[in-house]
Chains A and B, each alone.
Chain A
Amino acid sequence: MRVTLTVNGREESADGVWEGESLLYVLRERLGLPGSKNACEQGECGSCTVYLDGVPVCACLVAAGQAEGRVVRTVEGLADGDRLDPVQEAFVECGAVQCGFCTPGLIVQAHDLLERCPRPSDAEIREALAGNLCRCTGYEKILDAVRLAAGRKEAR
């Protein structure tokens, strides 16, 4: 089947989509957007987190056909041209990225947190990121990055 959706502000279509295929597969393999990562395929790891109609979801659990006509924003759509989003900048500066596999999902999820809750407490950060697994950093640098991004976004 054909699936047409808006991704990062552009209308995109994919043909020959299998009916049981996930939105994640469409993004990565059909639309050339490999930022969202494919790991657990069961919603456990959060590395495929994208915005679907403005709400962060695991793209691996969205059937491609459910995204028809919807608006998707991936990690590739957060930067403004060459200018990284404050969350992305903060992840780089704080050393919140090691192997980088979990990073796109964490960045989208942290981005959503700061949109909804500009000054999150540590408990709120932990809760927001509870569904994003990282096996490298031990999370401390990730928490640092979210705190830094929150401060910078507020200062803007």
Chain B
Amino acid sequence: MDFLRPTTWEEALAAKADRPGSVPIQGGTDVMVEINFDVRRPPALLDLTRVAELREWSMTGGLCRVGAGVPYAAVIGELAGPLPGLAQAARTVGSPQIRNRGTVGGNLGAASPAGDSHPPLLAAGAVVEVESRERGVRMIPAAEFYLGVKRSALEPDELIRAVHVPPATGPQYFSKVGTRNAMVIAVCSFAIALHPRERRVGTGIGSAAPTPRRALEAEELLAAELDWEAPLDPALLRRFGELCARAAAPIDDVRGTAAYRVHAISVMARRTLTWAWNDHLKERAA
């Protein structure tokens, strides 16, 4: 095994282009587990922690650009204002030690259906910035990034450089089911983002399908029928929960059954929409 340590983004792209089989490593919270347990022996590790720019975030072109090396602890400490949904999800990741190391970029790279970043990124309409030496930058909407279980649109010679997330213009919530409040891989999870200016609601379902995904029919229902001036119609709320559950396609596994996940998605969808709607009405009244 080789250990590659680029110190600039250009060096990192060159290393990935020359060694497409190398595995990028950032916080190591996924990659090192696989190596420690001998389930993966990549020909090379590509350490990205020395590429300093990856640890930075900025507001660019009206979007919050979060470098692929920004740890969850920084998302929680510095980005809870513009990205409340992602920050909430970050708070549920692992433990303090894991949140000090793990990154949203790594979560995207691993592309696990259970990754906590994915539902809020989907709900907010995030776009993933990837790059290769040969073909330059590609901007991939989160909804098109996840292709299968632990499979993403990232090509072997590409690296994730950042994720661009529109700052919240309305309330956002994340909900996650697990056996305790820490160290939990989601049994299933759900994120919601209200976009009041567009009269639209974004959704993200986690750990209840082969990939993280939006509940498109549920979003369309709200776009068509939600009255943004009024309290939530209980019948509409129920239909929203049903359509979110219908968007899920879970399996039975060690963490939970498919039937439980479908049920939990409908509950979390109703709950998060209710929380967000209460905030929305409060903001309007203020």
Binding site for B on A (CB under 8 A): 1, 18-20, 22, 41-44, 46, 49, 55-58, 60-63, 65-66, 68, 109, 127-128, 130-132
Contact = CB atoms under 8 A, between A and B. Distances in A.
B45 interface: yes
A131 B28 contact: no
A57 B97 contact: yes
A63 B3 contact: yes
Nearest to B95: A131
13 contacts: A20-B1, A41-B36, A43-B94, A44-B183, A46-B95, A57-B100, A58-B97, A60-B36, A61-B32, A63-B31, A65-B3, A65-B45, A131-B97
Contacts of A128: 96
A43 to B, nearest CB: 6
Interface in B27-81: 27-29, 31-33, 35-37, 41, 44-45, 47, 49, 73
A53 to B, nearest CB: 10
Contacts of A41: 33, 36-37
A130 B181 contact: yes
Closest 9 CB pairs of A and B: A131-B95, A130-B182, A19-B1, A19-B3, A41-B36, A65-B3, A61-B32, A61-B28, A42-B33
Q: Which of B5, B31, B33 has the most CB of A within 10 A?
A: B33
Contact of A60 (B32, B41, B95): B32
B8 to A, nearest CB: 16
Nearest to A41: B36
B74 to A, nearest CB: 11
Nearest to A48: B97
A131 B182 CA distance: 7
B25 A63 contact: yes
Contacts of A1: 3
B116 to A, nearest CB: 15
Given A19-B2, A62-B101, A43 B33 contact: yes
B251 interface: no
B223 interface: no
Given A22-B36, A43-B29, A58-B101, A130 B96 contact: yes
